[in-house]
Structure 1
Amino acid sequence: MSEANVKSQSDGWSQIRDIIVNGLWKQNPGIVQLLGLCPLLAISNTVVNALSLGLATTLVMAVSSGAVSGLRHLIPHAIRIPVFVLIIAALVTVVQLLMNAYVHPLYLVLGVFIPLITTNCIVLARVEAFASKRSTWHSILDAIMMGLGLTLVLVALGAGREAFGKGTLLSGLDLVFGPQAAGWTILLAPDYHGFLLAILPPGAFIGLGLLIALRNWLELRAKAAAATAAPQHQAA
């Protein structure tokens, strides 16, 4: 393999690594870019609700980014935003109809936040900023990583709010898997009467603030460790 091919392959893997790290950590849409706060705060009262909406958003992001990337040379620049919104809206409609048909109880719980994926800043932002300028494969990967980054924040927030608010985890699985899944709920504290603040909107803001603070603390700790290790490495 020639040196040029090796360098090209190395650059390709470097781009993939950067896309993954940016989506899950450095540019996480939930705790760094702070996009899509409406569904993030409204639906994160349980793990099941949070995970369901996060995966639905990830699916829409991946397919819409792939579609926009594949059609980017055919879409006139002057009307790109309306076209992007139409593509996203069509995909959201498909997801909404599928959820209505196959997981109707969950569909009723998520309610208006399913069609609101169309106007989610995360979806349109990645389509405009990334997919409209990059290859299809990289665009789909970026959308999946950004979606999973948002889903991780949703699930973490949902787990914390559900645990403190209800003393349970995975309540609502019967909405997805039917009545037989009602017994799958994990009871963390018997005779727990709940902490109402955790499942109300103020609890969502407090939980998100704690997640942002934790992420910033980890970043500062990593930078301090790197700064300490640099002089030692130079001396060696």
Structure 2
Amino acid sequence: MSEGYSNIIKNGLWDNNIVLKQSLALCPLLAVTSSATNGLGLGLATLVVMVASNLINSMAKGVISKTVRIPVNVIIIATLVTLTDALLNAYLHQLHKVLGLFIPLIVTNCAILGRVESFASRSKVFPSLVDGVFMGIGFTWVLTVLGAIREIIGSGTLFTNASLLLGPHFAFLETTIIPDYRGLLLIILPPGGFIMLGLGLALKQKLEAVWQENKQRQSGMVPEGDM
């Protein structure tokens, strides 16, 4: 049982990561991650929707007919996104203004419907909950890291306006990494998102190749001279 949950966690965070492996949700990723704050905000909003949709679908799968399962799932996700949008507008209005249209567009995020269809509709409640949590965390950390890298290279800051967008408790995150830095506008613009995402995907493949070679060497499958 623990091994099964371990695989779910690894899949969500790395092995089957929504962005780095499945290459889904790239539109909001490229448009929103001009700063770490924006990436974290959208990632957390998506995380909430993903967890709730997985949980509700798994609990209701016994009473939802297969013939209408997909439309019902879309309605569930749309309802959760609407609630999330309203809560962000009420309590984190500045973040809501920055993310704008990309909050309602969470409905069209095929990663959420994909997890509901491929996992929650076929699994028990707790595994579905764990899957939603770690798939959401995996998506959130990629958005945040990509946003942080683009923000540092593009403007020399990190988590700028975190206190305004996420609340005063997040003021400690605001940091100037490179003082008196004029910035590199290209990295903040959408083309910079494509560049950094491509480098990230290449880095993931390189790391996995190195890890695989190390495992084979430790198991004696690859002679030392071939490395």
> What displacement does 1:188 show?
1.3
Deviations 1:86-111 (A, max 9, x none): 00011111110000001111100000
Q: Please list the CA deviations of residues 58-108 of structure 1 after superposition, one character each: whole Å capped at 9, or x if unmatched.
A: 110001100000000111111111100000011111110000001111100
User: Match for 2:8 among 19, 25, 45?
Assistant: 19
Q: Tell me how far 1:178 sits from its aligned partner.
A: 5.2
The count of residues paired between Structure 1 and Structure 2 equals: 222
Kindly indicate whether residue 115 of structure 2 is the aligned counterpart of residue 117 of structure 1: no
Structure 1 residue 214, shift from structure 2 partner: 1.0
The aligned residue for residue 74 of structure 1 is: 63
What residue identity is the alignment partner of 1:196? L
Displacement of 1:53 in angstroms is 0.5
> Taking structure 1 as the reference length, what is the TM-score of the superposition?
0.90
Q: Deviations along 1:133-171, whole A, 9 cap, x unmatched?
A: 000100010011111111111011001000000100010
184-193 or 30-39, larger mean C-alpha shift: 184-193
1:57 is aligned to: 46
Query: Which of 143, 147, 150 is the aligned partner of 1:158?
Result: 147
Q: Distance in 1 between matches of 2:23 and 2:169?
A: 37
Does structure 1 conserve the Cα–Cα contact (< 8 Å) formed by 2:95 and 2:166? no
| Contact 2:158–2:173 (Cα < 8 Å) also in 1 | no
Q: TM-score, normalised by structure 2?
A: 0.94
Instruction: Tell me: CA distance 1:78–1:29, structure 2 relative to 1, closer, same or farther (3 Å).
Output: same
Residue from 187, 190, 196 that aligns with 2:185: 196
Aligned counterpart, 1:173: 162
Distance 2:187 2:90 in 1: 32
Whole-Å separation in 1 of the counterparts to 2:169 and 2:11: 39
Task: State the Cα distance separating 1:230 from its structure 2 match.
Answer: 1.2
Match of 2:83 among 64, 86, 94: 94
Give the AA of the match of 1:106. Answer: L
**AA matched with 2:177:** L
1:167–1:142 distance in 2 versus 1, CA, 3 Å: same
Shift of 1:118: 0.7
Q: Amino acid of the residue matched to residue 20 of structure 1?
A: I
What is the 5 A alignment of 1:118-137?
118-137=107-126
Question: Deviation at 1:176?
Answer: 3.0
Could you tell me how far apart the structure 2 residues matched to 1:14 and 1:227 are?
22
Provide runs of 4+ in structure 1 moved above 6 Å: 179-183
In structure 1, the residue corresponding to 2:54 is in which secondary structure? helix
Give the letter aligned to residue 118 of structure 1: V
The answer to whether structure 1 residue 83 and structure 2 residue 93 are counterparts is no
1:33, 1:82 → 2: CA distance? Answer: 23
Q: How does 1:25-64 map to 2 (within 5 A)?
A: 25-64=14-53
Change (3 A) 1:91 1:163: same
Percent identical among aligned pairs is: 47
SS of equivalent residue, structure 1 residue 164: helix
Partner of 2:195: 206
Bigger Rg, structure 1 or 2: 1
Q: 1:223 aligns with which of 212, 215, 220?
A: 212
| CA deviation string 1:202-236 (max 9, x = no partner) | 1001111111111111100011111111128xxxx
**Contact 2:34–2:150, Cα closer than 8 Å, also in 1:** yes
SS of the residue 1:88 aligns to: helix
Gaps of 5+ in 1: 1-11
